Amino acid sequence: MTLEAEREFLLQSLADLEAERDAGNIDDATYRELHDDYTARAAAVIRTLDDGVERPLPEAPRGPRWLRIATVTGIAVFAVLAGIALTRAVGTRDPGETITGNQDSDVEDSVAALARTAEEQPDDYNAQIAYARALLSADPPAALEHYGAAGAIDPSAPEPPTYMGWITGLAAGGLEDGPERDALLASSIDYLNHAIALDDEFADAYVFRGLVNANFAGNPAAAVSDFQLWLTLAPPDHPMRETVLGALDEALPDTVTTP
């Protein structure tokens, strides 16, 4: 990204941030954190453009609060990308299930009940994970928050970092090339690597790491072994099997070298 493009990105980010606060989509603490970050970074870029002296940009905020509105300048793109991709690849699930498909369409009452339970039982892993799963297709940023809460309650469980990695990867996919996208991709892979370190037989982590590498990180060759491992771990009648086989076929040519 050029300095001129970075300046425009940051100035537009400030404007969009104001709109998000006015719409009630972010809280005051998040607003202040991002406003201070964007302002400092924009000032550094503008001064560099003015006098030609390069200045290091302040590091962007990390963690769930930052990720929750990492696409504040393209939140509609993120919502569409995440909604479509997660609906096709994951769907909403009953507690205890992984990527097995959609529930019945009439789920509003049950989701509301899960929300109440999650609010009433903030320290209960099952309450947080069930609500996170219910939010996955409709509201990925909110799902991210509750997966994070579940992961804090039970750090040994592989599901929270797996889906935090997938949602983060989707957020990166909604951004143009640049430092924000790179940071989100790195966080996505870190989450997925951590999930696999916790449980090297948790199949979802492999397929999501493969999809992030193949579709967003521009590294399909790195996805081949993950797709193959998922195909080994997943049951033969898994409804995502054909999709993963297709992704594997697309990734394989990138591993072929000419003699």
Q: Which two tokens stand for residue 31?
A: 């607003």
Question: Is the model's pTM score more than 0.85?
Answer: no
Any alpha helices (H) in the chain, and if so which ranges? Answer: 3-22, 28-51, 64-68, 75-89, 108-120, 125-135, 140-153, 159-173, 179-198, 203-211, 220-233, 241-251
Compute the distance between CA of residue 149 and CA of residue 44 in angstroms, rounded to an integer. Answer: 35
pLDDT computed for residue 6 by the predictor = 67
pLDDT tens column, 132-160 = 988 887 778 888 889 999 999 999 999 99
Q: Which of 186, 153, 151 is nearest to 171 (CA)?
A: 186
pLDDT tens column, 29-67 = 767 777 777 788 778 878 887 777 665 655 554 443 334
Torsion angle defined by CA atoms of residues 89, 20, 179 and 51, in that order, rounded to the nearest 10 degrees: 160
pLDDT tens column, 193-219 = 999 999 999 998 999 999 999 989 989
Compute the distance between CA of residue 247 and CA of residue 208 in angstroms, rounded to an integer. Answer: 11
Contact 163, 145 (CB under 8 A): no
Report residue 68's pLDDT band, with 50, 70 and 90 as the boundaries: very low
Q: Which of 188, 233, 235 is nearest to 211 (CA)?
A: 188
* Signed CA dihedral, 94, 99, 100, 105: sign only: positive
pLDDT computed for residue 118 by the predictor = 94
Contact 207, 244 (CB under 8 A): yes
Q: Mean pLDDT: which of 44-53, 104-113, 118-127 is highest?
A: 118-127
Amino acid at 165: G
